[in-house]
Structure 1
């Protein structure tokens, strides 16, 4: 798959709530995932660790009120999309966030992802 195809497939799976399936299908074994500096999972390396991080997040959510994923914008080996989420966490209550995700693709697999957002006050 080329970058556009990977991007379109990721967006499709995320819109269907199949985030773990997206990791299983599209992520490279040596993926590097970056969250903003100072967050608990600032850097996560490896497909299994990224999948575990995603499952941990899913399990922390009590209720999803709204979730959206923009179409991807592709440039060369990179693509980005905007994610909006409004959820109630089991331990932290309700939070709404908007983030930009940037992905790098090589040989038809996502090799890096980075998320840009500010934690709600």
Structure 2
């Protein structure tokens, strides 16, 4: 059963992640909010690298590699979070030009798990390829 403390903590973490992502401060969000042993999961046929990445350093590197492939971000929108217990989700929409792929519109759902110490321990992304 969800306690008010867990719900409030998850909402605080979710709101902070959304705030930082809307400002384009994704690496800062990872450094501030993620557990050292975080797990990041992508779709099985994701072309950008491994489906599973473990550890905060590797998640930062994955994020930086994605940004290194971006020529221009035309727009980026992150929804308000929806929380349930220790989990929350946000919808992200991007209009991006990649250096080797051209311009594309991306839409994804990101689901996060927050541990009892207020750190994100898992992120998982869902999207159409």
TM-score category, normalised to shorter length: over 0.9
Q: Which runs of 5+ in 2 are unaligned?
A: 1-7
Q: Name the SS for the 1:38 alignment partner.
A: coil
Q: Which runs of 5+ in 1 are unaligned?
A: none
Higher CA-based Rg = 2
Q: Name the SS for the 2:128 alignment partner.
A: coil
Residue of structure 1 equivalent to 2:124: 114
Q: Name the SS for the 1:3 alignment partner.
A: helix
Aligned partners of 1:118, 1:46: CA distance in 2, in Å? Answer: 26
- TM superposition outliers: structure 1 runs of 4+ over 4 Å: none
Aligned partners of 1:38, 1:116: CA distance in 2, in Å? Answer: 11
Q: CA deviation at 1:59?
A: 1.1
Q: CA deviation at 1:118?
A: 1.2
1:16 to 17, 20, 23: 23
Superposed CA deviations along residues 57-109 of structure 1, whole A, max 9, x for unmatched, are: 11110001110000000000000000000100011111101100000000100
TM-score by length of 1: 0.96
For the aligned residue pairs, the C-alpha RMSD in angstroms reads 0.9
TM-score by length of 2: 0.90
Residue of structure 2 equivalent to 1:30: 37
Residue correspondences, number:
119
Superposed CA deviations along residues 3-23 of structure 1, whole A, max 9, x for unmatched, are: 110000000000000000000
The equivalences for 1:1-121 within 5 A come to: 2-39=9-46, 40-106=49-115, 107-119=117-129
